[in-house]
């Protein structure tokens, strides 16, 4: 049981956290033909664009209502209306997803009301899909924005209630948390399909931000889950929610269309995937395909090989709650000790992390704790690079943003294969670090001998040394 504490500082130093609206915007990028729209000043959108482009190395669809100083005072109806009209004219989207920002929330813009008014004033838009989510910058974090956006998508887009008799048990809804990569989504799609089930992912970043070459250039998202497919999610036999953050959306889906759900807090590591495979077996009525029996064996093999390197490591890890819990727990299961854990926002899973304390804080906190506790493995997003350099310890990049390495969108942590890959990545990092920094030399053990000596009497050490 971990104690969850919030850092008491007036000044955040080296933020771990990113803002809610862009978490919401990323969720909208998992819808097909979607144009996410931030209701706020242009700069917020510009920063978000740069961030996602650097992370995914893809063109990113994202628009702004371009609120000027005057508009923020007067209220943003006109800006939202104009933005919607312009986007429809220019990019012909299938849906527009709107997230508020700090600026428009401070004024208290009633965007739901604006949307009603837009529909009234432009009858041709009466049925045009628009989903709004309130995501003030000065509250919560990236993961919360994603959570709220997906919940709103369910509330707005899923048709219900559905007669249970018309439900198709081979259809499965999957609600992935923001901690899963497009690569994770693809892996899950394969696994679920291998059980003869047909998954619908909401959102589906696997289809949109997976780096495939588009057939033509479209300014909106390509791939992703279509509005019609979301509408039909009520017909599925089950919903699988991944990460505690997806509970709200799963509950909303159950309330709206009566689809029962099963929530997997984790999908990284052996135990969680055993549970997942067992569940798929159960709902599909099929035994686990041979492939997964082999993959399980490979994971176990990797765990055995990897534990030599990970066992006893003192881990400092900073990530959003679900990612922290998922990957942190797995590294703990591999023998690492979670000495320092920092996260961005509250979540019930934090208490279950195998460590003493989880701090809602920043990378300065993580760095300070890592130094104080002598950690020898740092795991966090790319912004941890400065801390790693100062601490001179191996650094594994995890989460968004990952702008200084390639393949962020394809990093795998789910499934038996995901665990295997993670172990190899971290263990190789540790091996390389040791080779670069800790080659054994004739005098390597003098220091430790001296340490022992210090305990019993410094004189001996000096004698031995000479």
Partner 1 sequence: MTSLSATIKDVFNEPSCAKNATKSEAEKKKGCTKQLQPGGAAGGCAFDGAKIALQPFTDVAHLVHGPIACEGNSWDNRGAASSGSSLWRTSFTTDINETDVIFGGEKRLFKACKEIIEKYDPPAIFVYQTCVPAMIGDDIVAVCKAASAKFNKPVIPVNAPGFVGPKNLGNKLAGEALLDHVIGTVEPEYTTPYDINIIGEFNLSGELWQVKPLLDELGIRILSCISGDGRYNEVASAHRARASMMVCSKAMINVARKMEERYGIPFFEGSFYGIEDSSDSLREIARLLILRGAPEELMERVENVIAREEARAWAAIAAYKPRFKGKKVLLITGGVKSWSVVAALQEAGLELAGTSVKKSTREDKERIKELMGQDAHMIEDMTPREMYKMLKDARADIMLSGGRSQFVALKATMPWLDINQERHHAYMGYVGMVKLMAEIDRTLYNPVWEQVRQPAPWDRPGDSWQDRALAEIAEEEAEIAADPVRAEAARRAEKICLCKNVDLGAIEDAIREFGLTTVEGVKEKTNAAAGCGACAIKIEEIFEASDIVGLPTDAQTIAAE
Q: Which of 49, 236, 241, 280 binds partner 1 (CB under 8 A)?
A: 49
Look up residue 76 and give its DSSP letter: S
- Helices 270-284 and 182-194 cross at an angle (nearest 10°) of 40
User: Least distance to partner 1 from the beta carbon of 240, Å?
Assistant: 30
Alpha-carbon torsion (237, 243, 244, 245), positive or negative:
negative
64 binds partner 1 (CB under 8 A): yes
Q: Does 47 bind ligand SF4 (CB under 6 A)?
A: yes
Binding of ligand SF4 by 44 (CB under 6 A): yes
Q: Among the candidate windows 41-49, 116-124, 197-205, 454-462, which touches ligand SF4 by CB under 6 A?
A: 41-49
By the 8 A CB rule, do 62 and 38 touch? yes
DSSP-derived secondary structure letter, 225: B
422 binds ligand SF4 (CB under 6 A): no
Residue 257 touches partner 1, criterion: CB under 8 A: no
Do residues 345 and 140 touch, judged by C-beta distance below 8 A?
A: yes
Q: Please report, as residue ranges, which positions from 10 to 39 form the binding site for partner 1 (by CB under 8 A).
A: 10-15, 17-19, 21-22, 37
Q: Which does 53 bind (CB under 5 to 8 A by kind): partner 1, ligand SF4, none?
A: partner 1
Q: Kindly state whether residue 87 participates in binding partner 1, applying the rule CB under 8 A.
A: yes
Q: Of residues 94-113, which lie at the interface with partner 1 (CB under 8 A)?
A: 101-103, 106-107
Two structure tokens written together for 3? 């104690």
Q: Which is nearer to ligand SF4, 102 or 199 (CB)?
A: 102
Angle CA(367)–CA(369)–CA(371) in degrees, nearest 5? 70
- Candidate segments 79-87, 184-192, 291-299, 315-323, binder of partner 1 by CB under 8 A: 79-87
Place of tokens 């669809």: 61
Order of strands, sheet of 314-318, starting from the edge strand that comes earlier in the sequence: 3-6, 357-360, 337-343, 314-318, 377-380, 395-397
Question: How far lies 120's CA from each of 87, 98, 109, 117, 125, in Å?
Answer: 18, 18, 18, 5, 8
- Residues 368-407, one symbol each (x = binds ligand SF4 by CB under 6 A, - = not), give ----------------------------------------
Query: Interface with ligand SF4 by CB under 6 A: which range of 39-47, 55-63, 223-231, 260-268?
Result: 39-47
Asked whether the beta carbons of 93 and 60 are under 8 A apart, the reply is no
Is 43 a binding residue for ligand SF4 by CB under 6 A? The answer is yes
Compute the least distance from the CB of residue 32 to partner 1, in Å: 18
Q: What 3 state SS string does 21-72 have?
A: HHHHHHHHCCECCEEEEEECCHHHHHHHHHHHHHHHCCCCCCEECCCCHHHH
By a kind-dependent CB cut-off of 5 to 8 A, residue 217 interacts, out of partner 1, ligand SF4, none, with partner 1
- For the bound state, the minimum distance from the C-beta of residue 47 to ligand SF4, rounded and expressed in Å, comes to 5
Q: Write out the residues near ligand SF4 by the rule CB under 6 A.
A: 40-41, 43-44, 47, 102-103
């Amino acid at each position: 049981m971990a104690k969850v504490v919030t850092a008491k500082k007036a000044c955040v130093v080296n933020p771990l956290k990113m803002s809610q609206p862009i978490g919401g915007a990323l969720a909208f990028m998992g819808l097909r033909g979607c144009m996410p729209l931030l209701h706020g000043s242009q700069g917020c959108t510009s920063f978000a664009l740069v961030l996602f482009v650097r992370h995914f190395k893809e063109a990113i669809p994202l628009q702004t209502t371009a609120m000027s100083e005057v508009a923020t005072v007067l209220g943003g109806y006109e800006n939202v209306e104009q933005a919607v009209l312009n986007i429809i004219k220019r990019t012909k989207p299938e849906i527009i997803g709107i997230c508020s920002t700090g600026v428009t929330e401070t004024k208290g813009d009633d965007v739901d009301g604006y949307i009603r008014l837009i529909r009234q004033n432009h009858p041709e838009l009466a049925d045009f899909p628009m989903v709004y989510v309130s995501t003030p910058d000065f509250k919560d974090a990236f993961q919360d924005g994603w959570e709220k956006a997906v919940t709103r998508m369910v509330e707005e887009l899923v048709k219900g209630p559905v007669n249970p008799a018309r439900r198709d048990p081979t259809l499965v809804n999957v609600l992935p948390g923001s901690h899963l990569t497009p690569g994770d989504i693809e892996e899950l799609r394969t696994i679920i399909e291998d059980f003869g089930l047909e998954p619908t992912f909401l959102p589906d970043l696997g289809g949109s931000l997976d780096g495939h070459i588009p057939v033509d250039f479209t300014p909106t998202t390509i791939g992703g889950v279509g509005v019609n497919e979301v509408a039909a999610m009520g017909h599925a036999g089950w919903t699988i929610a991944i990460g505690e953050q997806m509970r709200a959306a799963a509950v909303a889906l159950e309330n709206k269309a009566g689809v029962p759900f099963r929530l997997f807090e984790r999908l990284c590591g052996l135990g969680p995937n055993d549970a997942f495979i067992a569940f798929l077996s159960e709902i599909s009525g099929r035994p686990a395909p041979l492939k997964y029996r082999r993959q399980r064996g490979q994971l176990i093999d990797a765990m055995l090989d990897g534990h030599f390197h990970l066992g006893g490591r003192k881990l400092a890890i900073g990530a959003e709650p679900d990612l922290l819990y998922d990957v942190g727990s797995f590294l703990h299961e591999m023998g690492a000790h979670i000495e320092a854990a920092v996260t961005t926002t509250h979540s019930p899973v934090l208490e279950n992390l195998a460590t003493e304390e989880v701090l809602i804080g920043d990378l300065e906190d993580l760095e300070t704790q890592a130094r104080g506790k002598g950690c020898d493995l740092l795991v966090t997003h790319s912004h941890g690079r400065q801390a790693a350099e100062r601490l001179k310890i191996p650094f594994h990049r995890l989460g968004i943003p990952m702008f200084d390495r390639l393949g962020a969108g394809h990093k795998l942590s789910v499934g038996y294969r995901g665990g295997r890959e993670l172990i190899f990545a971290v263990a190789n990092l540790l091996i390389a670090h040791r080779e670069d920094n800790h080659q054994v030399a004739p005098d390597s053990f003098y220091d430790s001998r001296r340490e022992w000596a210090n305990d019993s009497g410094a004189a001996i050490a000096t004698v031995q040394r000479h």
